Amino acid sequence: MVLRAAGMAFPAGSRVRSIMGLNGGAAHLARRWFCLAPILALLVLALAGSAWAQASRPLEARATSEIRQTLFPEADRFELAEGAPPHMRVYSGEELVGYLFSTLDVVRARSYSPTPFDAIVGMDLAGNLTGARVIRHHDPYLQGFPQRVDRLEEFLEAHIGHPVDGTVEAPLTPDFVQGTTISARNMRAGIMDAGRVVLRANDPRPPITEPMIDRLGFSFLDWEQLVEIGAVSTRLVTFGEVSAALAEQGVTPAQMEVPLDRGDADARYTELVVGLATPPLIGRNIITASTYSSVVEPASEDVVMVAVMSGGYYDFIGSQYKSEEYGHRFERIRLVQGDFEMDFVEDDFDHVGTSVQRSGGPIVRHAGVFTIPLESGFDPLAPFDVVLMVHATDAAGVEHTVQFPVTYQLPDEAVLMPPVEPLPPWAEAWLASGVDLAILAVALVALTLIFVFQAPLSRNRRLHLWVRTGFLVFTLVWLGWIAGGQLSIVHVVNYLKAPFEGADLGFYLAEPLIVVISIYVVLSLFLIGRGVFCGWLCPFGALQELTSRIARLLRLPVWNPSQAAQRWMWLPKYGLAALIVGTAFAVPEALASVEEVEPFKTAITSAFTRPWPYVTYAVVLLVMGLFTERFFCRFLCPLGGVLALGDRLHLFTFLKRRPECGTGGCHLCERSCPVKAIEPSGRIVMAECFQCLDCQVEYYDDHRCPPLVWARKGRKRAANPRPRQSLVLTRNGATV
């Protein structure tokens, strides 16, 4: 049985070595503990960070007079509101004109950092933004990027005048803030969320939990507008239509309340108008204001009122509703809603005029409203029909009825809906990243196949060169510069710190490409080691390797430290990782500055468009990489340090080795390893291996690998043996 620890294989029977994983070497043991010490430091800092909380100044101190003047130039008084959430009421004279609040106080929203940002926001009484000023954030992709900060301010200003419910889209999308779309999207969502919370806290009406009739909203609408939104439904019935309907039933009328010979076939027999009068938006626009105030408005909320009007020769009222014998029912109209039917009666009827005419509407002679108890089973929000019935008696005295339904549906403008929560920022990001995710999926499948079939690939030196070069170019250009998929120590810090800051799952899902890459990297890390990411999926690593190849073509000198020196030079990346993670918990204000030890934001996410000190630093690292392969990756990368720690837990090692490796003077793979991750003994230090497969190309090359060369020559000699030569002796010219 063979156990594995610290990237080494050794017999299970060697218990001391098994535990130490270091062949018993004291120096090796000390170095391993030095590498593991940051883990203990991280745990201590995490526990300390869970109890750490940053005290904020009160809202009235953070919302300076300059900010208040910007958000509410007409205001002259700001008063702290009582209760939750904390906010200020804004007055102009004695008139309340809006609210001022902080996202940090109301929703503690986050941008790209697990530490919440703080934006002072202004909103008018209707829920429209008057402005937003971000006064504090810990966003690593905004600090040190003045152009992005300017674009973020412009992006937020574009939302001035837009409602916090998100029903009206602003002219700018989060993509406008190039390089930090996630931050812009999350900040916008945080501002909108806080605005909705404050708006609901100041709404005197009970919260809306299900659709209901709007019994307060009103605006004047003319008849054309009422018809356009569906506030009223009308049906014109001609003499010809009535005659045709009776004929279809085979009825020849002998007697009718309004005989068919009274008008031409195209003349108006009747015209019915139906509308739900309970919402002021409809009722006050189709009946007189005084009638609405005296009849409809005082009604209780457990009833609704349907307005019915008619014009022409045949009205909806009839005469029998006054008859006790008939039950005071209206014989000419009926309400039908699915299986529910209702006859209108006199007690539920209020006559509201005999000659009502709205601007642009039909001429009507009778108008009234019918009261319908909601307990009857009638649903005012669902479609219903008011059916007009025309009666006729044939020569035999049999009464017949033809029906003309008027279908009605309460318009959305007269309905209050429960607040619809907008799409979470993380879901919006995933929907917007469909194409990028598809491309990334193809790339990850291709990378997986490379490792699954690494043996056939490594047997062909030229094919390996083209495949690896092509993938590195893809990683740098598309994944790094175009898609912005550079995994960074920033993400590690965010993922570690988020639970202590109360971040929800949405924070982890905010960046789709990084989420997918992170999952792939974690799986590959524990399966075969860190090299899958560092060697193939890191855009800055790809940039270093590609520039190093140019240096080799230019025959620039190469410098590599000795094995002894290299062991110590590997250690700084672990210390930098511990420093950055510790800073995140202990001094978060300094985190963005400390994280600049990584040049990723400069060289990849901003493509060298930052101020000159950042660009100079990145260029210096790349220049050092021209002489020492992947200098930053090997010795300074904090993300590489974190991954190297995790590499010690990997389960499988597929890189092939032979007993002859490192013995008998064979150091071919050691010399061919570009990052010097192979020791003179032939052992591969997996925590420092980038899985470039260069050693495997040598391993399968029977023209370079000494054991294969010997074997090949042996086979050749066996296949082509020398012919035996006979010894011929002669004496005095004669053969002996």
Span of 12-21, 89-98, 504-513, 681-690 with lowest mean pLDDT: 12-21
pLDDT, tens only, 513-536: 999 999 999 999 999 999 999 999
- 82 sits in which H/E element: none
- Phi, psi angle pair for 657, to nearest 5°: -135, 155
3-state SS of 624-645 is HHHHCCCHHHHHCCHHHHHHHH
Residue 171 has pLDDT above 60, yes or no: yes
Structure tokens, 295: 């009849």
What is the DSSP annotation of 38-78? HHHHHHHHHHHHHT-------HHHHS-HHHHHHH-TT--EE
Average pLDDT value for residue range 356-369: 77
Residue 100 has pLDDT above 50, yes or no: yes
Yes or no: say if 545 and 609 are a contact pair by the CB < 8 Å rule: no
Go through the chain and tell me how many residues it has.
736
Give residue 730's pLDDT band: very low, low, confident or very high (50, 70, 90): low
Average pLDDT value for residue range 460-466: 96
E runs forming strands in 210-347? 212-213, 233-238, 253-256, 268-276, 303-312, 329-337, 340-345
Q: Which residues is 343 bridged to in the sheet?
A: 334
Residue 436 has pLDDT above 60, yes or no: yes
pLDDT for 165 equals 86
pLDDT, tens only, 178-218: 889 999 999 999 999 999 999 999 988 778 889 999 998 89
Question: Of 324-333, 476-485, 723-732, which has the strongest mean pLDDT?
Answer: 476-485
Helix or strand or coil: residue 177? coil
Own/partner long-range contacts of 554-560 (Cβ < 8 Å, ≥24 apart): 556/626, 556/627, 557/627, 558/627, 558/628, 558/629, 559/627, 559/628, 560/628, 560/629, 560/676
Residue 345 has pLDDT above 70, yes or no: yes
Residue 600: name the closest of 648, 537, 658, 671 by CA.
537
Yes or no: say if 109 and 182 are a contact pair by the CB < 8 Å rule: no
Largest CA distance in the chain: 163
Query: Taking all residues of the chain, what is their mean pLDDT, rounded to a whole number?
Result: 87
Residue 16 has pLDDT above 60, yes or no: no
Percentage of the chain beyond pLDDT 90 is: 68
542 or 290: which carries more pLDDT confidence? Answer: 542
Q: Which residues contact 283 (CB under 8 A, 6 or more apart)?
A: 275, 276, 277, 292, 296, 305, 307
Residue with tokens 């550079």: 486
pLDDT for 596 equals 94
Q: Which residues contact 146 (CB under 8 A, 6 or more apart)?
A: 611
Average pLDDT value for residue range 565-592: 92
Angle between helices 512-527 and 434-452 (to 10 degrees): 10
3-state SS of 494-521 is HHHHHHHHCCCHHHHCCCHHHHHHHHHH
Domain spans, the chain: 59-201, 212-416, 425-700
- Phi, psi angle pair for 8, to nearest 5°: -120, 155
Give the integer Cα–Cα distance in Å for 8 and 498.
34
Yes or no: say if 269 and 245 are a contact pair by the CB < 8 Å rule: no
What is the DSSP annotation of 535-576? III-HHHHHHHHHHHHHHHTT-------HHHHHHHTTHHHHH
Angle between helices 572-586 and 26-50 (to 10 degrees): 10
707 or 91: which carries more pLDDT confidence? Answer: 91
- Say whether pTM exceeds 0.85: no
Give the integer Cα–Cα distance in Å for 461 and 704.
12
3-state SS of 305-321 is EEEEEEEECCCCCCCHH
Rg, Å, the chain Cα set: 41
Give the integer Cα–Cα distance in Å for 483 and 175.
12
E runs forming strands in 338-396? 340-345, 349-353, 366-373, 384-394
Average pLDDT value for residue range 424-449: 95
Helix or strand or coil: residue 242? helix
Structure tokens, 351: 């006559």
Residue 615 has pLDDT above 90, yes or no: yes
Give residue 664's pLDDT band: very low, low, confident or very high (50, 70, 90): low
Residue 722 has pLDDT above 70, yes or no: no
pLDDT for 359 equals 63
Q: How far is CA 685 from the centre of its chain?
A: 39
Identify the sign of the CA torsion 439, 445, 451, 455. Answer: negative
Rounded to a whole number of angstroms, the distance between the first and last alpha carbons of the chain is 67
What is the DSSP annotation of 124-139? ETTSBEEEEEEEE---
pLDDT for 281 equals 94
Structure tokens, 273: 């108008």
Identify the sign of the CA torsion 466, 467, 469, 473. Answer: positive
Q: Which residues contact 405 (CB under 8 A, 6 or more apart)?
A: 235, 336, 385, 386, 387, 388
Span of 196-200, 350-354, 464-468 with lowest mean pLDDT: 350-354
**For 534-565, b where at least 16 C-beta lie within 10 A, e where not — what string?**
bbbbbbbbbbbbeebeebeeeeeeeebeeeee
Half-sphere exposure of 182 (CA within 13 A, CB side): 28
Give the integer Cα–Cα distance in Å for 419 and 20.
61
Burial class, 235, CB count within 10 angstroms (exposed 0-12 / middle 13-18 / buried 19+): middle
Q: Which residues contact 20 (CB under 8 A, 6 or more apart)?
A: 28, 29, 32
